Amino acid sequence: MVTLTIDDKQVAVEKDTTIYDAAKKAGIHIPILCHDKKLKPFGACRMCLVEVEQMKGRLIPACTTPVTEGMIVRTSTPPVDKARKLVLELLLVHHPLDCPVCDKGGDCELQNLAYDYKVNSNRLTDEKFHHEIDYNNPLIERDQNRCILCGKCVRICDEIVSRGALTFINRGIKTKIGTEFDGPLSCEFCGSCISVCPVGALLARPFKFKSRFWAMTNKKSVCGYCGTGCSVTLGVKDNKVLTTIYDENQGFHNGQLCVRGRFGYQFISSDKRLKTPLIRKNGTLVETDWDEALATVAEKLKLSASKSAAIATPRMTNEELQLLKQLMLQHVGTKNIDHSAGYAHEAVTEGLAKSIGVAASTATIPDIQKSDMILVLKSDVYETHPVVGFEINMAVKNKNVSLHLISDKRGKLSRLPGANLLLCKPGSEVTLLNSMVNVIMEEKKAALDTIPPDFVTALSAFTPAKVATECGVTADEIRTLALSYAAADKAVILLTTGLAYPGADAQLAHAASNLAILCDKLGKEGSGIIALQEKNNSQGAIDVGFVPAQGGANCHNILDGCVDGSITSLFIAGENPIVSYPAGDRIKKSLEAVDFLVVADLFLTETAQLADVVLPVSSYAEKEGTFTATDRRIQKITPVIPPVGKSLPEFQLYSKLIKLLGGQPALTPADAFSTISAYSSISYSELGEGGVFVKSEFKPTLIVPKTSNVNIEKGKFSLLTGAALYHCGTMSLHGEGTVAVCSVGYVEISRSDAEALKIADGTDVKLTSSSGAITLKARVSPRMAAGVLFTPYHFAANSVNTIWSGSIVTGVTITK
Amino acid sequence: MPNPFTPIMQGMKITFGHMFKKPVTLMYPEERPKVAERYRGLHALKVSHNKAKCVACYLCPTVCPAKCITVEAGEDDNHNKFAAKYEIDMLRCIFCGYCVEACPVDALKMTGQFELANYRREDFVFTKESLLEKK
């Protein structure tokens, strides 16, 4: 610890702290334009100049100067103020002073400082800049005339997002923030640059001119897209969510968001939201009131009793899932409940539950940065959970954590410095992991004392030499990876689950768990397995136990039962199976066949259009409850706006249904929360900002994973399904920002295949599988291996589930 | 005791005096008052180059103590900011003139128009079109 004096205040701080951070700790504010908590010190703006007793004769930048013992710092003296005023005058020489039309007005750090330091005239004059404003993309507007060259956008894009889309170009007075070849901005549109820009040089176009910052109320919530569980601040005006607001002190991710979280909020206040219940009369859906709709639903469910079923989305809160479960199990009298198509939660409910003894991840997202080694199975983390991707990037770049990937395609992670990618053949991940386990056992590197002999025998066949060709990697690569995993002190294994990831099944989870169990990398800081789940409350749905009760039908059987008559009433809460589940035709037939279909959703989705009763429900911004993030962090949300139209938060909806069926529902979300047995150790009231982790007890067991037999006919391409960076499930298709940059489906094809088939980027190609054919835009991508195609699953038009029936890899032919 | 006629005489002096002065009473509406230049009557949005000068900076609704101004900004074809909606609720307006003072681009003024009576409440909400300065 180092002790120093700042403005007559004694401060004791860590050795490597800067004067700026030390002052901040002491509650002394030093004005600054180029600093962000997450970024490395840069010293661009010179606003943070201070006087240091020991360094008399010049002013010292507080943000780049480390503290030394006995330092005496003065942050505001006449020479300091005079210097800062000059800095502001220099900045304002070229700044356009168009505050009335600049969207940053009111939230602008330069404006605030000019006001604080009373810079109302300028001793210096020069011509203003005449840079062309970049309106080339739908999300980020770049006006270089307003730029003060603090470099925060450049640094966040490099240090955290790892995209490097922006950089300083030219020199001296001509310096500006430029893009590659000074062309239009080509990036993933996460908007991090906008969030840190101190002036109006970078602006969010979806929010442009919508409101002034001071006219909005900032309300905290938890992002409703993926399972990462990022905290968000929503800007609300007139009961409408207008934007997301950056807060560097929020959450484990320090306010860092991805494109979906930052730009995909429009679905909340969308005009297309359902505002009244709908009921089918004479073949068409007509508006009705809640009484009629609920009475019909209650009556039909009661009538069907054990022949009813419910499929829920893990976007609902824990309390809502708990009530729906209570409704179906106790009051309707059925055991047929499930979520996420039944298979998307299998890696956790089957895989981890059996291997580790708890149906949850054993490590947390903050563990990633505390680890020594990260092993990512399927490199989709950057696309499915971008904020986790940022964490990995920071771990690799700042903490020297080694990164290893086993994946069927390259991605942003494999481009990180020192990333070791084992580009395997699609569907061979389990075999490869088994082989790693084999190496560890053969080389006697296992930390486990006794390994069951049948386990050793079962995996003895998986020697690297034997599986190398099958996996498409060399035996040496497998051996090296296995040994470095065994040798690492701490290691985290990440795998991605979700509707489009049938490969991330129980077997993959078993295989990954075996590695961790054998090498004793479970349950300690910086070690474990994280199953990154697709939806914001996927883990919650598992914890609540929204899975088939003993003897109940799972999702697959429920949908089959609709056709054969064993299910007569189906309650679909928030899911859109027609688009998001595999084998869309089969799903559609099931939903058309079922006698009575109720859909509770925000929008009139493809599934809702087939329903007999459609119940309008509320988005996450309108309700109270808890979400459990993928690393088992429970976070509380409170209503940000009142329910849109006559829509009801699902909590009230299920309460009413339970009452109609003669039951007694929990009165408040807090009451419902207390009935969730998995969370019995946590009280609702202690859930503050940042949430609470649920502690889990492990009971590791080595289980022999079954390898999948992927047989793709010769001459056919291996089609992989997955998620696009810009979307999460089908809900992001109602967020205008995300749709603006990615509105239609596409298929990624390797350069070599594209060349051989003479397919140019952007042309329409026809994919034909045994179950159908669709036409998609081709995207020639350097990340695909030859013979492998990738397509995201979110889109209703030319939906991939026409040709994909849920197998890990689908054999398709591709024609122009 | 003072002379009881003195106050009466003084009063009559004023009365008779007024008979020879210019009358103060206006025969409104046939006769129109002369409105002072700085009078704060109905607002007008100034026009320049056939467009309202207003850039929809939202300072007038922010400063307005009666919260009677509603502005919604829009983006025109040249990506410039303009007031897509500009409304003043005259039933709430207290004619303090802060909006005019706050305007950074001198787009708003207060005219001498004071006849604001109307038959329906909704007619007191002046839209952008009705507020545009009449030349």
- For B28-43, what is each residue's pLDDT tens digit? 999 999 999 999 999 9
Q: Is the pLDDT of residue A379 over 80?
A: no
Q: What per-residue string of b and e applies to A53-72 under the rule 16 or more CB within 10 Å gives b? A: eeeeeebbbbbbbebeeebe
Give the residue from A430, A448, A445 showing the smallest Cα distance to A517: A448
A133 contacts in B (CB within 8 Å)? Answer: 79
Question: What's the distance, CA B16 to chain centroid?
Answer: 37
Task: Please give the single-letter amino acid code of residue A756.
Answer: A
Cα–Cα distance between A497 and A531 in angstroms, integer? Answer: 7
The answer to whether the CB atoms of A212 and B58 lie below 8 A apart is yes
Give the residue from A105, A4, A26, A23 showing the smallest Cα distance to A61: A23
Q: Is the pLDDT of residue A405 over 90?
A: yes
Confirm or reject contact between B105 and chain A (CB < 8 A): yes
Q: What is the CATH number of the domain that holds B111?
A: 3.30.70.3270
Confirm or reject contact between A210 and chain B (CB < 8 A): yes
Token pair for A296: 């019909």
Q: Give A203-266 as a DSSP string.
A: EEGGGTTT--GGGSEEEEEE-SSSTT--EEEEEEETTEEEEEE--TTSTTTTT---HHHHH-GG
Task: Please give the single-letter amino acid code of residue A359.
Answer: A
A141 contacts in B (CB within 8 Å)? Answer: 79
Asked whether A517 and A510 are in contact (CB, 8 A), the reply is: no
Q: What is the pLDDT of residue A714?
A: 87
Q: A32 falls in which pLDDT band (50, 70, 90)?
A: very high
**Interface ipTM:** 0.84
Question: What is the Cα gyration radius of chain A?
Answer: 28
Q: What is the enclosing helix (H) or strand (E) of A170?
A: none
HSE (CB half, 13 Å, CA atoms) of A616? 20
A212 contacts in B (CB within 8 Å)? Answer: 58, 62
The percent of residues above 70 in pLDDT, for chain A, comes to: 100
Q: Is A755 helix (H, G, I), strand (E, B) or coil?
A: helix
Mean pLDDT over A521-539 rounds to: 93
The answer to whether the CB atoms of A105 and B81 lie below 8 A apart is no
Q: Is A307 helix (H, G, I), strand (E, B) or coil?
A: helix
Confirm or reject contact between B76 and chain A (CB < 8 A): no
Is residue B77 domain-resident? yes
Q: B128 falls in which pLDDT band (50, 70, 90)?
A: very high
The sign of the CA dihedral A705, A706, A711, A712 is negative
Q: What is the pLDDT of residue B127?
A: 95
Confirm or reject contact between A99 and chain B (CB < 8 A): yes
Which residue in chain B has the smallest CA separation from A102?
Answer: B57
What lies within 8 Å, CB to CB, of A565 at 6+ separation is: none
CB-CB: which of A100, A135, A211 is closest to B79? A135
Phi first, then psi: give them for residue B70, nearest 5 degrees.
-115, 120
Q: A47 falls in which pLDDT band (50, 70, 90)?
A: very high
The percent of residues above 90 in pLDDT, for chain A, comes to: 91
Is residue B118 domain-resident? yes
Cα–Cα distance between B128 and B132 in angstroms, integer? Answer: 6
Which residue in chain A has the smallest CA separation from B73?
Answer: A209
Cα–Cα distance between B32 and A675 in angstroms, integer? Answer: 77
Q: What is the pLDDT of residue A709?
A: 79
The pLDDT mean for chain A works out to 93
CA distance B98 to chain A (A): 16
Q: What is the pLDDT of residue A347?
A: 92
Token pair for A292: 């009629």
DSSP state letter for A733: G
CA distance B45 to chain A (A): 16
Q: Is the pLDDT of residue A186 over 80?
A: yes
Which residue in chain B has the smallest CA separation from A212?
Answer: B58
Cα–Cα distance between A25 and A540 in angstroms, integer? Answer: 37
Burial of A400 (0-12, 13-18, 19+ CB in 10 A): exposed
Cα–Cα distance between A689 and B126 in angstroms, integer? Answer: 45
Is residue B18 domain-resident? no
Cα–Cα distance between A218 and A214 in angstroms, integer? Answer: 10
Cα–Cα distance between A116 and B68 in angstroms, integer? Answer: 30
Cα–Cα distance between A561 and A196 in angstroms, integer? Answer: 53
Q: Is the pLDDT of residue A642 over 90?
A: yes
Confirm or reject contact between B102 and chain A (CB < 8 A): no
Confirm or reject contact between B81 and chain A (CB < 8 A): yes
CA distance A137 to chain B (A): 13
Q: Is the pLDDT of residue B24 over 90?
A: no
Neighbours of A443 (CB within 10 A): 12
Which residue in chain A has the smallest CA separation from B79?
Answer: A135
Three-state secondary structure string covering A333-396: CCCCEEECCCCCCHHHHHHHHHHHCCCCCCCCCCHHHHCCEEEEECCCHHHHCHHHHHHHHHHH
A214 contacts in B (CB within 8 Å)? Answer: 62
CB-CB: which of B59, B62, B74 is closest to A209? B74
Q: Which residue has the tokens 């002036």?
A: A199
- Widest Cα–Cα separation across chain B: 86
A100 contacts in B (CB within 8 Å)? Answer: 55, 57, 59, 104-105
Q: How many CB pairs under 8 A join A and B?
A: 30
Cα–Cα distance between A225 and A222 in angstroms, integer? Answer: 9
Confirm or reject contact between B73 and chain A (CB < 8 A): yes
Q: What is the pLDDT of residue A75?
A: 95
In the sheet that A284-287 helps form, which strands lie side by side, from edge to edge?
A: A284-287, A278-281, A613-616, A596-601, A569-573, A308-312, A337-339
Asked whether A467 and A432 are in contact (CB, 8 A), the reply is: yes
Which residue in chain A has the smallest CA separation from B80?
Answer: A101
Mean pLDDT over A748-772 rounds to: 94
Three-state secondary structure string covering chain B: CCCCHHHHHHHHHHHHHHHCCCCCCCCCCCCCCCCCCCCCCCEEECEECCEECCCCCCHHHHHCCCCCEEEEEEECCCCCEEEEEEEEECCCCCCCCHHHHHCCCCCEEECCCCCCCCCCHHHHEECHHHHECCC
Confirm or reject contact between B22 and chain A (CB < 8 A): no
pTM of the model: 0.93
CB-CB: which of A99, A101, A212 is closest to B62? A212
pLDDT tens per residue across span A272-299: 999 999 999 999 999 999 999 999 999 9
Q: What is the enclosing helix (H) or strand (E) of A413?
A: none
Q: Is the pLDDT of residue B135 over 80?
A: no
The contacts found for A691-696 with CB under 8 angstroms, 24 or more apart, are: A691/A229, A691/A629, A691/A633, A691/A634, A691/A635, A691/A636, A692/A633, A692/A634, A693/A364, A693/A631, A693/A632, A693/A633, A693/A634, A694/A360, A694/A543, A694/A628, A694/A632, A694/A633, A694/A634, A696/A358, A696/A360, A696/A362, A696/A632
Q: A696 falls in which pLDDT band (50, 70, 90)?
A: confident
Q: What is the pLDDT of residue B25?
A: 87
Q: Give A633-692 as a DSSP string.
A: EEEEE--SSPPSTT-B-HHHHHHHHHHHTT----SSHHHHHHT-GGGTTS-GGG--TT-E
Mean pLDDT over A751-777 rounds to: 94
Structural domains present in chain A? 2-76 (3.10.20.740), 282-338+544-693 (3.40.50.740), 346-532 (3.40.228.10), 717-815 (2.40.40.20)
pLDDT tens per residue across span A321-365: 999 999 999 999 999 999 999 999 999 999 999 999 999 999 999
Please, what is the Cα angle at A127 between A126 and A132, to 5 degrees? 145
Q: What is the pLDDT of residue A385?
A: 94
Q: What is the pLDDT of residue A193?
A: 96
Q: Is A79 helix (H, G, I), strand (E, B) or coil?
A: helix
Contact residues, A window 288-347, toward B, CB-based 8 Å cutoff = none
CA distance A209 to chain B (A): 6
Give the residue from A698, A743, A706, A710 showing the smallest Cα distance to A724: A743
Q: What is the pLDDT of residue A242?
A: 95
pLDDT tens per residue across span A141-171: 999 999 999 999 999 999 999 999 999 999 9
pLDDT tens per residue across span B48-104: 999 999 999 999 999 999 999 999 999 999 999 999 999 999 999 999 999 999 999
Q: Which residue has the tokens 């890899």?
A: A809
Mutation target among A98, A101, A237 for the B interface, most CBs of B within 10 A: A101
The sign of the CA dihedral A650, A656, A657, A659 is positive
For residue B109, CA distances in Å to A333, A400, A460, B36 come to 71, 63, 88, 14
Is residue B53 domain-resident? yes
How many structural domains comprise chain B?
Answer: 1
Cα–Cα distance between A312 and B55 in angstroms, integer? Answer: 48
Mutation target among B53, B55, B57, B108 for the A interface, most CBs of A within 10 A: B57
Give the residue from A262, A275, A258, A508 showing the smallest Cα distance to A388: A258
DSSP state letter for A66: B
The answer to whether the CB atoms of A209 and B57 lie below 8 A apart is no
Strand partners, A49: A61
Token pair for B103: 């305007």
Question: What is the Cα gyration radius of chain B?
Answer: 23
Helices (H) and strands (E) in chain A, counts: 26, 33
Full residue range of the structural domain in which residue B117 is found: 35-131
Confirm or reject contact between A97 and chain B (CB < 8 A): no
Q: Give A530-561 as a DSSP string.
A: EEE-SSTTHHHHHHHT-S--TT---HHHHHHH
B74 contacts in A (CB within 8 Å)? Answer: 209
CB-CB: which of B61, B79, B105 is closest to A100? B105
Three-state secondary structure string covering A218-234: EEEEECCCCCCCCEEEE
Q: Is A505 helix (H, G, I), strand (E, B) or coil?
A: coil
Asked whether A623 and A650 are in contact (CB, 8 A), the reply is: yes
CB-CB: which of A141, A209, A214 is closest to B73? A209
A145 contacts in B (CB within 8 Å)? Answer: none
Is residue B60 domain-resident? yes
Is residue B14 domain-resident? no
Cα–Cα distance between A647 and A336 in angstroms, integer? Answer: 26
